[in-house]
Amino acid sequence: MARILMVASEGLPFIKSGGLADVIGSLPQELVKKGHEVRVVLPMYLKIAQNFHDEMQLEAQYTVSINYHEVPVNIWSTMRKDVKFYFVEHRGYFERDNMYGYADDGERFAYFQKAVIEMLNQLNYFPEIMHCHDWHTGMIPVMCKEGHSFDERYRNIRHVYTIHNLAYQGNFGVEMLDSCLGLDYRLYDNGNVRYDGGISFMKSGILYADKVTTVSPTYSQEILTPQFGEHLEMVLNIRKYDLWGITNGIDIEYWDPKSDPDIPYHYNKVNVKKQKEANKLALQKELGLREDPNVMLVGVVSRLTWQKGFYLMMEKLSEICAMPIQLAILGSGEASIEEKMRQLEEGNKGKIVFYNGYNDALAHRIYAASDLFFMPSLFEPCGISQLISMRYGTLPLVRETGGLKDTVTPYNEFEKSGTGFSFANYNSDEMINVMNNAVHVYYDRPEDWKILVRNAMNCDVSWERSANTYCQLYAQLHP
């Protein structure tokens, strides 16, 4: 069994902006159950400092060179379910209102990665495998292999790099190579880290890691093509024999309709219909929808962005509004989509409700109360919402892309099989046809609907299987 250090920019239960945090919150615990020793290192953001600092211990204090200055680093730690979490503290870089989106993001995460690499030396803790996630950690394999190759302790580390979303790549000016990363310009000249006249953290991670993974088998194939490769498909094709697609799971203790503290009525496969209706009535009352346990409630919990397929939805708003359904939308994102959702609610009071922002407890209640979960993504590396909705007996309606294709089996009316509904092409006519079909099955084929709900709730959406695959991957690197 291996000593593994996971390096990421976010992780539950400490902080979250997207699905990466769910993975970091769940996968390490599952790997520990399988006998690995797993530790995690994250930046100490403002919210983490405010909410968790009191329980942490100071582990180390040292400096790293950024912009030709020695910048102090404090390393703190705390335990969560047999996993040790480290935090890199620098108030100027990380204690801000948001996690990402600043002009100096390159410098901030160069500092984070340098601090992590020196942390190993300061704590005399050298993992056998460093598992880095997304662009914020992509330079770690480079710095270990190019900057510390003289040191056997670093040379013996094997590197796994996971792409959660290829659209965000960490592309910065070439001057950062020397000033922030302490790397030689020859790595730009020979093309290893060069991208579009600058450097790319994501490209570098893909090229330098020993193994590259992404979060579903279908997405691992899609990103080898120009359509999904985000201009890195050539680089990924170089590494395709080291590229693994491993589907994410969810934390089935946290997402459990039998015991979820955020929902008013608990249920299992046996009493799902009755209790879902009770949850629906409670949510309708809470959100100001017309109270009716028999109406089909469609839930949306999402970032409201182009990636998530909301432009498709906006093309068909009049048809959707005409359907015998209610719509509960929770999310935030692009201003134009938010404005459209506000107008939609305004013109359809009692039928459509839009909660702008994110509210975790409300998300649980939407999953529990909805009959159908709407997720028409343009692309979706894995997707977690469809896994949660199936766990809660809410049938997902998805586009067949990435992890959505891998995890949702479309309804087959002849075999009475499936766990949801899906359409293949990014096309609003296809989407609305499938949505009409779902409405038809709900109202006119209730027995089929019941079978689909049972199928969905029988799906194994835990980390168990995925963790086994990660174990196989680690075993190849560390026999």
- Residue 81 assigned as binding residue: no
User: Residue 88's closest CA among 182, 8, 21, 26?
Assistant: 8
At 293, which helix (H) or strand (E)?
none
Q: Is 259 helix (H, G, I), strand (E, B) or coil?
A: coil
Beta strand pairing status for 37-43 and 3-7?
parallel
Alpha carbons 386 and 335: distance in angstroms, whole number: 25
Alpha carbons 153 and 394: distance in angstroms, whole number: 49
Backbone φ, ψ for residue 452 (5° rounding): -60, -40
Q: Is the bond into 264 cis (omega within 30 degrees of 0)?
A: no
Spell out the long-range contacts of 150-158 with Cβ–Cβ below 8 A and sequence spacing 24 or more: 153/120, 153/121, 153/126, 154/117, 154/120, 154/126, 156/126, 156/128, 157/126, 157/127, 157/128, 157/129, 157/130, 158/128, 158/129, 158/130, 158/210, 158/211, 158/477, 158/478
- Strand extents, DSSP E, 277-382: 296-304, 325-333, 352-356, 372-375
Alpha carbons 181 and 147: distance in angstroms, whole number: 9
Beta strand pairing status for 3-7 and 129-133?
parallel
Q: What are the binding residues for ADP-alpha-D-glucose?
A: 16
